[in-house]
Amino acid sequence: MKSRQKGKKKGSSKERVFGCDLQEHLQNSGQEVPQVLRSCAEFVEEYGVVDGIYRLSGVSSNIQKLRNCIIWSSRRGAVVNESD
């Protein structure tokens, strides 16, 4: 798969959160569920008392900002919380 290899992003799969193999990420992290998924689910369960919260897409720019924040935090070993 030449095009896939060409498009790979820098950084080891151990530090990457997005764009890596899920099984490999879970093995490297030693977790059954990715931390980013756990954090998002906990936040939604605590603060997201809205019908259809799991069915409706968010604003693309907000999603991208959150994604960038998660990537940045994972590279530094930090955990993103609701105040970030």
Q: Give the position of tokens 């924040």.
A: 69
What is the spatial distance between Cα 21 and Cα 46, in angstroms, rounded to a whole number?
29
How is the chain split into domains, by residue range?
11-75
Q: Which two tokens stand for residue 16?
A: 């990457």
The upper half-sphere exposure of residue 1, i.e. CA atoms within 13 Å in the direction of its Cβ, equals 4
- For the record, the structure tokens of 68 come out as 């960038």
pLDDT at 12: 54
Give the separation between CA 5 and CA 18, rounded to whole angstroms: 15
Q: State residue 79's pLDDT score.
A: 57
Residue-wise pLDDT for 20-73, tens only, equals 899 998 998 898 999 889 998 898 888 876 777 777 788 899 989 989 998 888
Q: What is residue 78's predicted lDDT score, i.e. its pLDDT?
A: 59
